Chains A and B, each alone.
Chain A
């Protein structure tokens, strides 16, 4: 009988892995199971073009029905995997059916972190992860509405930018003294803050949330200071938590996500995990365990895990990379900023800036940049290659916009 590979989670990573298995010549059966009813689609547009555009967006599909058929991938949408029966190598599905596997991939992604205050679970409080979430929010931010966004992370900020574009009033509430406290240098976060102010977003820092209230009088955010903010819509964007339920119940090791090794294998040799749901050791940072929520990471790991399920045993070599679009600005970050000790700044002109983050031994460990359009893209990509090679570039050269980074790559 031919080998059966089953993938749980039909998001960016699961869909990419299914296609990659065929691209790599896997001849057995491939089944892709997803809880959402849509064909696999991309999430990044949900807070950007899909939210800001005038027309009701369609999901941006990763794999069409024809492509899935052509690749002989059985796609089961609208189906939950409720349990993993490891001794018998079978999955239990939402309809009580079961499905056998020889090798299993868990690509279950994340769900939004819930705000742990009274009222945060009311149906009218919005969270953004899925296409359905985006449609629901979108229909409520039309002209003149007042949107209160809780959380100054990427999702909240992109949503603020899109809501302003659609003519809504926006108040953004962040418990800490500044935006983007995780993995973004302060100067970049300040630049983002200025941009939002310029576009008329009202920002409140350093105040926690006591309660969310929905009553006949409308919806209000009650702050720990006692202040109240009335809004037509409250959106919570305070981060995401990995989906680990079935893995944990099956006894797999979970450590800030489903724990995998550098080949994306869980503690069960026939079960792999990849994408937003897994934590893994990054060889270029001495095996430091990370969990990334990034579109390209989901793609890279989808490709890698497909090869490893087929027995390639290849270790992760890619460098973290992330982007965010807000108004006319794009921010890109590669590597891990908090590994840096010293920062060198390169001004690219036109308001575009790149920070290079160097470790105490001079190794380039991250680069973070912001600018109009894709002004920082080329240099961030080159920085990513330098990081991947463990390069120790001359700081003076890094800071001098007249020196081509490509030249440093050859050195």
Chain B
């Protein structure tokens, strides 16, 4: 059963950007793509547990702010050293101007 949690207002995230969302002691990262779609992944880099929401989003890639580990935030796929473990992704839906994540 999906447990949908309201994370933020859709316009809280700028286009091609990311914000941090904390829930139940866990950190998530919520993205808005250049095509205006929303995505969510676990919020800490799999390399050194750095908060990804401080990183740069370019197209479908999020870059860790510390060591430039790169991930595709749509699929969670790690795109090369130093990041070699994929990010978990979570389903997202937008309803009435709010973003919901299935945690």
Contact = CB atoms under 8 A, between A and B. Distances in A.
A295 B81 CA distance: 12
Given A382-B56, A406-B16, A377 B66 contact: yes
Interface in A369-386: 373-375, 377-378, 381-382
Interface residues of B, number: 14
Chain B residues touching A, majority SS: loop
Interface residues of A, number: 17
B54 interface: yes
Contacts of A382: 56
A377 B54 contact: yes
A323 B56 contact: no
Given A374-B54, A377-B54, A382-B56, A16 B67 contact: no
Interface string B80-98: 0110000000000000000
Contacts of B66: 323, 330, 374, 377
Nearest to B84: A67
Contacts of B50: 374
17 contacts: A295-B67, A296-B67, A296-B68, A299-B81, A303-B81, A373-B54, A374-B54, A374-B55, A374-B65, A375-B54, A377-B65, A377-B66, A378-B55, A378-B56, A381-B63, A381-B68, A382-B56
A299 B84 CA distance: 14
A77 B37 CA distance: 49
Contacts of B55: 374, 377-378, 381
Given A19-B81, A381-B55, A381-B68, 14 more contacts: A296-B67, A299-B82, A303-B81, A323-B66, A373-B51, A374-B50, A375-B54, A377-B54, A377-B65, A377-B66, A378-B65, A381-B56, A381-B63, A404-B14
A17 to B, nearest CB: 11
Contact of A378 (B54, B67, B81, B82): B54
A66 B67 CA distance: 24
A350 to B, nearest CB: 12
B22 to A, nearest CB: 15
Contacts of A303: 81
Contacts of A323: 66
Contacts of A373: 51, 54
Interface string A389-411: 00000000000000010100000
Interface of B: 14, 16, 50-51, 54-56, 63, 65-68, 81-82
Contacts of B54: 373-375, 377-378
Interface in A275-311: 295-296, 299, 303
A373 B16 CA distance: 22
Contacts of A374: 50-51, 54-55, 65-66
Question: Quick one: which of B50, B63, B66 has the most chain A CB within 10 A?
Answer: B66
A377 B62 CA distance: 13
Nearest to A321: B68
B52 to A, nearest CB: 10
B95 to A, nearest CB: 28
Contacts of A16: 81
Contacts of A19: 81
A267 to B, nearest CB: 29
B83 to A, nearest CB: 12
A308 B67 CA distance: 24
